[in-house]
Amino acid sequence: MKFTAKQIATMLNGKVEGDPSAEVNALAKIEEGFPGALSFLSNPKYEEFIYETESTVCIVNDTFVPSNSLAKTLTLIKVKDAYSCFAKLLEMYDSMTKEKPRIESPSFIHLTAKVGKDLFLGAFSYIAREALIGDDVAIHPNVNIGANVQIGEGTIIYPGATVYHDCIIGKNCIIHAGSVIGADGFGFATDEKGEFQKIPQIGNVIIEDNVDVGANTTIDRATMGSTIIRQGAKIDNLVQIGHNVEVGKNSAMAAQVGVAGSCKIGNNVMIGGQVGLNGHIKVGDKVMIAAQSGVVGNVKDSSVLMGTPAFDSKEYKKSYLGFRRLPRILERLQAIEDKMKALTKD
């Protein structure tokens, strides 16, 4: 599908500098541009590429002033925020590739399940009894939707994902391939023989609106009550979230994060890759935790943590600087000891 620079500028409330009739039919990074491509420039770090790109149209901030000559074939669209505008275009492009409503065969919908309008149900998918599926939902092939599950309108569930019984997923969520929502929490107790006895996990998982869950991520159901992922949270691939955890609004965690049971994470928290969080702790709002940190206790609002056990990032950096200097300090200490021994002998 082709769009002119004028049409794109109208959608983004921008201004065209160059040929308003210039047509594009693809998106490309500015350093990999080609004729017919639309690119964007928001970071001055990449400005050099705009003078050599072969893209036909480029979205730039309205404050951008070229410091060199642009290609005669390059048309600019000036907007208030080039990055957010390009993200909006990506979203629009993605929506155009959305699967058309249909129910593929073979697939199964229980007689007691209720499905909304414009459902896409991929082949080999299964919707169990009493499930409630909203309008404009896309359930891709090989997805299993358990009994009494609720899925809000506009949600997309990609191939191979499983949503266990009684779980609730809100509106406009994305559950990526291979994710498991609502498997049993890791609950066991030892008996008098020292053998593990399973504790039934009778709760569920509640995922609120506009949540993204990455591929092969697992979110365990609560022992009792609910494991809750609040509105707008973003969870990367290969994340493990234990039973009875709560993740606050608009919080984000990168790949391979592990959250132990009953941990409570606040709003607008940023968690780097491979972070481990202890069970039964509380992490405040607007906290930032660096990658590979281990959080073992409660964290106050707006803290920035690093290390294992994690502590204040500024103190951690000072400590790490001292750790790197430790070999030289030991050498100097050894030299002092040698001199002291020599003086003692004299």
Whether omega for the bond prior to residue 106 falls within 30 degrees of 0, making it cis, is yes
C-alpha angle with apex 253: 244 to 138, nearest 5 degrees? 80
Whether omega for the bond prior to residue 309 falls within 30 degrees of 0, making it cis, is yes
C-alpha angle with apex 324: 292 to 342, nearest 5 degrees? 150
d(CA 206, CA 222): 10
Report which of 189, 125, 176, 114 is spatially closest to residue 151, judged by C-alpha positions: 114
CA pseudo-torsion sign 42, 46, 51, 57 = negative
d(CA 331, CA 183): 54
Taking CA atoms, 170 is separated from 149, 167, 180, 233, in Å, by: 11, 10, 16, 12
| Angle between helical axes of 82-96 and 5-12 (0-180°, round to 10) | 110
Residues in a beta bridge with 276 = 258, 294
C-alpha of 190 from chain center = 37
Q: Which residues are known catalytic residues?
A: 243
Strands 162-163 and 144-145: parallel
d(CA 26, CA 33): 10
d(CA 303, CA 288): 6
Residues 6+ apart with CB under 8 A from 177: 140, 158, 159, 160, 161, 215, 216
C-alpha of 193 from chain center = 43
Taking CA atoms, 85 is separated from 20, 26, 234, in Å, by: 18, 16, 21
